[in-house]
Chains A and B, each alone.
Chain A
Amino acid sequence: MNKLNLGLASAILASGLTASAAHAETLKFAFQGALNQLDPYSLNETFTLSALGNVYEGLTRRNENLEIEPSLAESWEVVEPNRWRFHLREGVKFHNGNDFTAEDVAFSVERLHGEGSDLAKRVGSDVKVEIVDDYTVDFVLPGPNPILHYEWDTWYIMDKEWTEANDAVAITSASDTTPNYAALHANGTGPFKLVSHEPGVKTVYEKYDGWWDEATHNLDGVEFTPIGSDATRVAALLSGELDMVYPIPVQDVKRVNDNAGTMAMTGPELRTIFLGMDQMRDELIYSDVKGKNPFKDIRVRKAFYQAIDIEGIKRKIMRDLSTPSAIMISPFLFAKSGDFERLPYDPDAAKALLTEAGYGDGFSVGMDCPNDRYVNDEAICQAVASMLARIGVTVDLNAQPKAKYFAKVLASGGFDTSFYLLGWTPGSFDSWNILDNLIQCRDEAGNGGAFNLGGYCSAEVDALADKILVENDPDKRDALIAEAYTLSNNDVAHIPLHQQGLAWGVAEGVELAQRADNQFHFRFVTKN
């Protein structure tokens, strides 16, 4: 019934269009993955949050350059070191016509902490929310936190009344037999309303006329289709059926550019791809070296680092769509990143280091690598393996789908790896996230740096991280972060490889902002 109406409506719309030819533009785009469900708190994943970010809004938002801007909060201030005050925007209405007030913010915090929430960390569980008046909210923290609001652009505010009326206060957990209302419907304050949503098939949005901000886009509606097959996705763009597709495989960039009417937009992504080494166990799980762990020796780690020809990987595998990195965070996200340099590529020095460490004849090591998670992940691992072969190290590559890879190498698999490739984007856009997740010491159960798979551990770095967490002064904080990176780089805690590139395919006449976090927001789009 619904769909018949929709079909008729769009048919009428289409016929009306030719007659009046107003600025009625529908953007049609495809992404490789699906938007499985709409509850904004169930999955902490870039595409889901990005798609929902057109419908819902947070207290803050980020612009094309990822700078924090006021959104549902007009302004905020730190009234005491532990108390942040947010002044909410007045006159904002949800898509169902309800007013946005402080009640909704408090409710959203509560729901965010509910069972089954995947975004609970957006607001610490020890943070208290106090409603000052209808349009002022205080967040009381257990200690200072300069980056409290860094992730709030993807913590979306829900309408208390709507959520309660539709019995959707509890987040649909994966074991529930029926999804709740919020998993299939959406009611936000954002620039677009959700018209229909068929998970895995099609999602349709329409412009929200009552949006509080002035629209810079000229779209009337947006149609999203997931297209899993790379070749089909690119073909659909080339044939003119779609206005935008992403990602496009690096090997198709040229073809998209050569085709009349389409072009590839490329740019660096925030994600850092790096290699990690088990420095924790006394003997590697996957190696022919028995009784000791070669990666405990910094000379071995350094040898591995210097054996990798990062420019070669950039040129041959990434087709120039990568930026070699010297630290574990994107240069966009850290002001002092220019101070760091990679160790030079030098196979002879690497070989000498290995000999010095007592491995002149080399050794063998098993390497774990995903093959469907990052851009050309398996090819990068193969290249690394062949580069290491040149200094006498035999790599047994175990490349597998992400579902198996992560089950093996993460805590749930007991950190079952000796040498691995991983990519990381700090969700908070800040270095503390890197230190917290990737560099801080952890125990065998994974407490501490839970994604520090190699178990690098430095008391000095940990002490710095604790200081960084509570330092409110940006300059002092940056200096502390730089110190932490210097220490971990000197230890060769990880081998940073590169920032992988983004490649989006866009039809002629469509202008949009390509954000380095790979989020696609319709409010930055114009279509002629």
Chain B
Amino acid sequence: MFGFAIRRLLQAMIVMLVVALLAFTLFRFVGDPVNQMVGIETSIEEREALRERLGLNDPIPVQFFRFVTNAAQFDFGTSYQFRQPVSDLFAKRIPATLELSFMSALFALVVGIPMGIYAGLNREAALSKLFLSVSLVGISLPTFFIGILLIFLFSVTLQWLPSFGRGEVVEVGSWWTTGFLTVSGLKALVLPSITLGLYQMTLIMRLIRAEMLEVIRTDYIKFARARGLPDRIVHFRHALKNTMVPVITITGLQLGSIIAFATITETVFQWPGMGLMFLQAVQNVDIPIMAAYLLLTAFLFVAINFIVDILYFVIDPRLRIGRA
């Protein structure tokens, strides 16, 4: 067990290093950050002095080494545009992204599961077919388009919900801001959560439907029916319970991608989270922010995978025999 964990950890670290190297080299090609940091009329000497101060004139390996050693100590440098430590900036933006991700995951589950169950149990019903076609839309339309569509329907035409921002936020402790405690904060969550969660919702719905169809055909369900149990008990206690295992696994894994890929939704709704900051950083060639975001995202995925691997190892005895 211990040896396995160590091996996994080493692999994870190699992945992180590769991501760091990729991030670092890729961002050399985004453009010259100095142009974004000064006005157009700034003289060439001043631009050169700035490059020197930022260490942009050092050889690439030196810059990379500096970047990795600092990153290992959670120091991602100073943002070029905000002139603040990147770690502080991220700390401020994390609550917005996490709350949005949580709400969209919740939306995906709360809406996706019942729809999936219904479609699984009544595969020929008209409503099921409607669900399926709607879910096709959810999968095939690009996120930003769904976002804009929702904005034009619910903000511009109906004027029910805000089109941008987090609304009023309340500070909890010194490190967390939440939109859950104000009306405007909750209202602001609705459209972006739907936009971000739509794809996951579709996924969950289709997954449950498929699993349900599968399970309904199994012998133990037939026996349960034969024992004369009411449909409700058969469907929910016997069938649903067994469909949930893969759903939970997938949802867990998807949560990581929701957090990581909230960028587009955040941009459409001007949601002040990490993703929005990342895209703004790309436009402004703010290399420290871009690199830190990529590392953070990679870390999230590596960490989730690491935990999943360990859990499988703990749960499934067969793995243990094979490895030990």
List chain A positions with a Cβ less than 8 A from chain B. 1-4, 7, 10-11, 30, 34, 36-37, 42-45, 118-121, 172-179, 183, 198-202, 225-229, 231-233, 235-236, 238-241, 372, 401-407, 410-413, 424, 427, 433, 437, 445-447, 450-451
- Asked if B50 and A174 sit within 8 Å, CB to CB, the answer is yes
What is the CB-to-nearest-CB distance from A332 to chain B, in angstroms, rounded to a whole number? Answer: 19
For A10, A36, A233, A405, which residue has the most chain B Cβ atoms within 10 angstroms?
A: A36
Chain A residues with Cβ below 8 Å from B34 are 412
- Asked if B270 and A227 sit within 8 Å, CB to CB, the answer is yes
Partner of B171, one of A3, A239, A451: A3
Q: Check: B69 CB closer than 8 A to any chain A CB.
A: no
- Asked if A235 and B152 sit within 8 Å, CB to CB, the answer is yes
Chain B residues with Cβ below 8 Å from A451 are 40-41
- Asked if A236 and B35 sit within 8 Å, CB to CB, the answer is no
With A402-B31, A412-B32 already in contact, 7 other A-B pairs whose C-beta atoms are closer than 8 Å: A7-B182, A36-B82, A174-B78, A183-B83, A200-B276, A235-B151, A412-B47
Contacts A175-B55, A451-B40 given; indicate if A201 touches B159 (C-beta within 8 A).
no
- Asked if A3 and B169 sit within 8 Å, CB to CB, the answer is yes
Total cross-chain contacts (CB, 8 A): 175
- Asked if A173 and B53 sit within 8 Å, CB to CB, the answer is yes
Chain A residues with Cβ below 8 Å from B151 are 231-232, 235, 239
Leading 7 A-B pairs by shortest Cβ distance? A403-B31, A44-B39, A407-B32, A404-B31, A239-B155, A406-B35, A201-B272
0/1 interface trace, chain B 36-61, chain A, CB 8 Å (1 if under):
11111111101110110111000000
What is the CB-to-nearest-CB distance from B88 to chain A, in angstroms, rounded to a whole number? Answer: 9
Give A102 to B200 CA distance when docked, in angstroms.
63
Contacts A1-B174, A3-B177 given; indicate if A401 touches B283 (C-beta within 8 A).
yes
- Asked if B284 and A403 sit within 8 Å, CB to CB, the answer is yes
- Asked if B44 and A36 sit within 8 Å, CB to CB, the answer is no
Can you show 27 pairs from A to B with CB atoms below 8 A apart? Answer: A34-B280, A36-B82, A44-B41, A118-B38, A173-B50, A174-B83, A175-B55, A178-B84, A179-B83, A183-B83, A198-B272, A199-B84, A225-B270, A228-B283, A229-B270, A232-B151, A239-B151, A401-B31, A402-B31, A403-B31, A403-B35, A403-B283, A404-B30, A404-B32, A412-B51, A413-B32, A450-B44
Give A226 to B170 CA distance when docked, in angstroms.
20
For B164, B283, B285, which residue has the most chain A Cβ atoms within 10 angstroms?
A: B164
Contacts A176-B83, A178-B84 given; indicate if A226 touches B44 (C-beta within 8 A).
no
Chain A residues with Cβ below 8 Å from B44 are 411-412, 445-447, 450
Partner of B170, one of A7, A37, A178, A447: A7
Contacts A43-B37, A174-B80 given; indicate if A407 touches B31 (C-beta within 8 A).
yes
What is the CB-to-nearest-CB distance from A176 to chain B, in angstroms, rounded to a whole number? Answer: 7
CB proximity to A under 8 Å, residues B95-129? none
Partner of B85, one of A120, A178, A372: A178
**Size category of the binding interface on chain B:** 35 or more
- Asked if A7 and B168 sit within 8 Å, CB to CB, the answer is yes
Give A238 to B34 CA distance when docked, in angstroms.
36
Q: Check: B279 CB closer than 8 A to any chain A CB.
A: yes
Give A445 to B36 CA distance when docked, in angstroms.
21
Q: Check: B267 CB closer than 8 A to any chain A CB.
A: yes
What is the CB-to-nearest-CB distance from B35 to chain A, in angstroms, rounded to a whole number? Answer: 4
- Asked if A175 and B53 sit within 8 Å, CB to CB, the answer is yes
Chain A residues with Cβ below 8 Å from B71 are none
Chain B residues with Cβ below 8 Å from A34 are 81, 280
Give A118 to B182 CA distance when docked, in angstroms.
41
